Amino acid sequence: MKKIKLLLKISIIFFMLGLTFYLGLYLVARYQTKLPIDSANKLYIYDGLDTLSPDLNDTWVSLKDISPNVIKATIAIEDKNFYKHSGFDFLRIIKSLYVNFKSGKTLQGASTISQQLSKNLFLSFEKTWKRKIKEAWLTIELESQYTKDEILEAYLNTINYGGIYGIEKASQYYYHKSAKDLNLAEASILVGIPKSPSNYSPIANLDNAKKRQALILDAMVKNKYISEEDKEKAYNEELTYYGNFTNDNSKTIMYYKDAVINELKSIESIPSSFLETGGLKVYTYLDVNAQSILEKSMLDNITNKDIQVAGVVMDPNNGHIIALTGGKDYSISEYNRAINAKRQMGSTLKPFLYYAALENGFTASTTFTSEKTTFVFSENKTYSPANYNDNYGNKSISMPAALAYSDNIYAVKTHLFLGEETLVNILKRVGITTKINAIPSLALGSEEMKLVEVTGAYASLANLGYRITPHLIKKVEDMNGNILYENNDDKEAVLNSSLVYIMNENLTSTYNYNFVDYNYPTCHDLAASLTHKYSIKTGTTDYDHLVFGYNPNIVVGLWSGNDDNSASNISNGTELRHMWRDIVENYLSDKETSWYEIPDNVVGVLVDPISGKVANKNTKKPTLFYYLKGTEPTFDNNLDALIPTIKEENTTKQN
């Protein structure tokens, strides 16, 4: 009996000490600098016109402007004792520890709304004791400095509803209505999303969303917020989900925001936590019109519902990314394929290979025989690349012809002739940072790279030889207007501008009907609908379709394929080319454009486009090829040559 009394006294003492310590913490926290829950970690994102973009920014609404259905559903499923505890639900913590210990798995969590808010606003999601201790202290600060309603309001305005942050934005995105007008059925679906946005989005996975809705409605019944009849009615109500903000770029605009945040994290001068800064103003290069054109072109042309698409629209002169999509619909898949996915680039690496060839003495008239070929290496290793559909000319073809048909034999012969490291070095020079292996198949794009970095590499051709860094952020300021970061648009001359000019002309062969011979140019279907002059190159693997194209004003890189690397139908490549055409043509429709001026040390010669030999009066389709002065082909037969008089200004202005 004495032992029991002693134990009871000790317990009371420890309880009182703990309570005193706990109250002391709250007293200290109360007089700390007030946590900025309405601005901490908050980004204000501006478009290229320095306008605060409504699509890229969250909308804060007061608690009175949020439907009671949302509030009750959130409390019922997330933290039923929210208005009773002081930041920590100790009984729930003990219960979850018991359940998890008994099962050997983490089946239950015990985070309160206050804890979740502190984590969302001020902390990373790393699972360390240091973070957990900091989370506990921040939770105490929140509870001591704000009312329960203020905490709940902040939580509902900052939680992730499937890449859409805040209940008002989510309500507009999923239902095209304000958060204050959400009924029970709509609210119980939305409240289920934050648990696992990719699994419980009603657009991405309606079955899972309905299962989660059922759990939430059950919790509301148990907590006496609704009746069984209310639950059944809400669960069985047919709802319409939109997955956009009712404007022209709302299915893809979040991919741009995602890329902005990704770039922001890589800038060393930006603090990893925005607690001290109280929010950031991020100025981007987003062109809302270009983003709308990108999305509309995709929706108009890509008919395969299962295939995915990524695209980058860039100013080649400085690397400004003015539009971007990492998929077809952010509400279905948040994975950003434009900046994260590494895919084989196929034949789109050939322009860099042939540029390297020009540096090493090749000309547009340099020929290799297009024929079925097996290459033999040391130790009797062999490599047998094939042309698409096993289509070979079985004759010598010029470099522009090899580009027009995307001839693999010409490419591998060039690659091996130059040495396999040559292409690797060229790709590094133009900004490819992904590790590349010097192997025979590199000429055919067998190595995996990111769409955004290859688009940046093409910018080096579009801007006549300067390496740029693709980027979305112009500058970053704190809330007081102090500049924390500003991009200087640095660029470096890495290629010979005259040789780049020649390559840019060579790449117009891909849609030039003069090259119709034993094969068709890969982009011949675009020729009739192009009103501007472009350099274009497509690429195809068993799993990927790509197209890159440009002129001095714009460079656009596109990819389509399946995330699981399953085979992609050839028709997907056709649709992607048409998407590319619609993007560039619509974007440039109201802009004055020009082609590149012919350099002083470059001459044009009329030649036979397939053989590369100087044209004569019997040449059926004489075509202009360009050369460094002194390397142009000469007349070498008995027929009268066509006299090339290419001295006129090689600039066309189009509106």
Q: What is the DSSP string of 153-173?
A: HHHHHHSBSSS-BSHHHHHHH
577: closest CA among 298, 358, 263, 168?
298
In this prediction, residue 11 carries a pLDDT of 63
**Residue 383 DSSP class:** E
Report the C-alpha gap between 65 and 67 in whole angstroms. 7
Report the C-alpha gap between 16 and 23 in whole angstroms. 10
In this prediction, residue 386 carries a pLDDT of 92
Neighbouring C-alpha atoms within 13 Å toward the C-beta of 604: 20
Report the C-alpha gap between 143 and 135 in whole angstroms. 12
Q: The pTM is what?
A: 0.84
Catalytic residues: 78, 347
Report the C-alpha gap between 109 and 438 in whole angstroms. 50
The tokens 């619509």 sit on which residue?
Answer: 586
| Second-level CATH architecture of 58-246 | Orthogonal Bundle (1.10)
In this prediction, residue 14 carries a pLDDT of 57
In this prediction, residue 30 carries a pLDDT of 60
541: closest CA among 435, 408, 403?
408
**Residue 233 DSSP class:** H
Report the C-alpha gap between 25 and 517 in whole angstroms. 83
Structure tokens of 145? 């400095």
What are φ and ψ of residue 109, in 5° steps? -115, 165
Q: How many other β-carbons are positioned within 10 Å of the β-carbon of residue 450? A: 23
In this prediction, residue 638 carries a pLDDT of 36
Q: DSSP secondary structure string, 180-233?
A: GG--HHHHHHHTTGGG-HHHH-TTT-HHHHHHHHHHHHHHHHHTTSS-HHHHHH
**Residue 607 DSSP class:** E
In this prediction, residue 146 carries a pLDDT of 84
Asked whether 347 and 445 are in contact (CB, 8 A), the reply is yes
**Strands (DSSP E) along 200-347, which ranges?**
280-284, 308-315, 320-325, 342-344
In this prediction, residue 641 carries a pLDDT of 45
SS3 call for 318 = coil
Q: For CA atoms 188, 190, 193, 198, give the dihedral sign.
A: positive
Q: How many other β-carbons are positioned within 10 Å of the β-carbon of residue 534? A: 26
In this prediction, residue 480 carries a pLDDT of 84
In this prediction, residue 43 carries a pLDDT of 83
Longest CA–CA span in the chain (Å) reads 125
> Beta strand pairing status for 43-46 and 280-284?
parallel
83: closest CA among 141, 127, 148?
148
Whole-Å CA distances, 43 to 2, 36, 259, 587: 62, 13, 13, 29
Domain ranges of the chain: 1-31, 58-246
**Residue 493 DSSP class:** E
**Residue 304 DSSP class:** -
- First vs last Cα of the chain: how many Å apart? 99
Torsion of CA 178, 179, 183, 186, to 10 degrees: 100
In this prediction, residue 639 carries a pLDDT of 42
Q: For CA atoms 91, 92, 97, 98, give the dihedral sign.
A: positive
The tokens 């390496």 sit on which residue?
Answer: 467
Question: Could you state, in chain order, the average pLDDT of each consecutive group of 10 residues for the chain (655 residues)?
Answer: 64 58 56 62 87 83 95 93 76 57 51 82 56 70 82 90 88 94 97 91 93 96 95 96 77 92 88 63 95 96 95 98 96 93 97 98 96 86 90 96 97 96 97 95 95 98 98 92 92 97 98 97 96 97 96 98 90 96 96 94 97 94 97 66 38 34
Asked whether 139 and 118 are in contact (CB, 8 A), the reply is yes
Number of helices and strands (H, E) in the chain?
20, 19
- Burial of 39 from C-beta contacts in 10 A (0-12 / 13-18 / 19+): middle
Asked whether 537 and 510 are in contact (CB, 8 A), the reply is yes
- Burial of 476 from C-beta contacts in 10 A (0-12 / 13-18 / 19+): buried
Report the C-alpha gap between 480 and 223 in whole angstroms. 45
Residue type, 423: L
